[in-house]
């Protein structure tokens, strides 16, 4: 008889153990951590820049930047005076808990309030891996279409908030934003949805006020 080993289950179990250790570390420093996910080009870095501009007077912010290769986005954020560390996965389509543990070993988190983890651009794998975050947040750009919640349900299921970005393009594309919201709510009735434009700044105030509330609530415990 052939012995079958469920490698995927084993990988997730080991990842979750490390994620719990990461979370314990972040909790020990009273850090609020968001895991920001999207497809490539949806506007993660631009949204992070807008978020930093809105919150930098309230909170001390750090960024863990994930990419397959290069440090282009990390260099952009560093110019804003934000402590940033780059994680290059070398081909992996997501960040996992072990990668974040390496960031913990090589980055000074003391004195920070908020850590934004910018995950690798992908609508599938990042949602599968816990990394020690307080919550997952996803960005979907309006041009990606209103059918994406039905095609990639796990990311919508796992996310506490959805930012529908690039809404300034809605007059020029066929995406039905009401259908998109409806489809996302069918997958996850509790998901908080923000309509944003990193280009114009629309919706950023609503998003950052909600995030501020979450951070402050976490610090009361």
Q: What is the pLDDT of residues 120-129, one digit of tens each?
A: 999 999 999 9
pLDDT at 51 over 60: yes
Q: What is the mean pLDDT of residues 157-186?
A: 98
Position 1 confidence tier, pLDDT thresholds 50, 70, 90: confident
CA distances from 212 to 52, 57, 171, 217, 221 (A): 12, 12, 31, 9, 15
- pTM for this prediction: 0.93
Percent of the chain residues topping a pLDDT of 90: 88
Q: What is the CATH number of domain 9-219?
A: 3.40.50.300
Contact 165, 139 (CB under 8 A): yes
Instruction: Give the pLDDT of residue 188.
Output: 98
* Helix ranges restricted to H, 70-152: 72-78, 97-105, 148-151
SS3 for 137? Answer: strand
SS3 for 92? Answer: coil
């Amino acid at each position: 008889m052939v012995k079958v080993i469920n490698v995927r289950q084993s990988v997730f179990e080991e990842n979750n153990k490390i994620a719990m250790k990461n979370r314990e570390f972040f909790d020990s420093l009273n850090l609020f951590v968001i895991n920001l996910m999207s497809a490539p080009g949806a506007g993660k870095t631009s949204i992070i820049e807008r978020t930093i501009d809105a919150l930098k007077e309230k909170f001390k912010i750090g960024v863990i930047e994930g990419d397959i290769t290069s440090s282009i986005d990390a260099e952009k954020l560093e110019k804003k005076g934000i402590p940033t560390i780059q994680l290059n996965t070398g081909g992996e389509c997501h960040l996992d808990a072990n990668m974040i543990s390496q960031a913990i070993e090589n980055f000074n988190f003391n004195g920070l309030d908020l850590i934004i983890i910018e995950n690798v651009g992908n609508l599938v794998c990042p949602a599968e891996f816990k990394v020690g975050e307080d919550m997952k947040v996803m960005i979907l750009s309006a041009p990606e279409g209103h059918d994406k919640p039905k095609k990639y349900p796990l990311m919508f299921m796992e996310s506490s908030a959805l930012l529908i970005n690039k809404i300034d393009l809605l007059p020029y594309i066929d995406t039905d934003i009401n259908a998109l919201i409806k489809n996302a709510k069918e997958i996850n009735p509790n998901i908080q949805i923000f309509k944003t434009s990193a280009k114009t700044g629309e919706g950023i105030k609503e998003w950052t006020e909600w995030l501020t509330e979450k951070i402050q609530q976490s610090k009361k415990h």
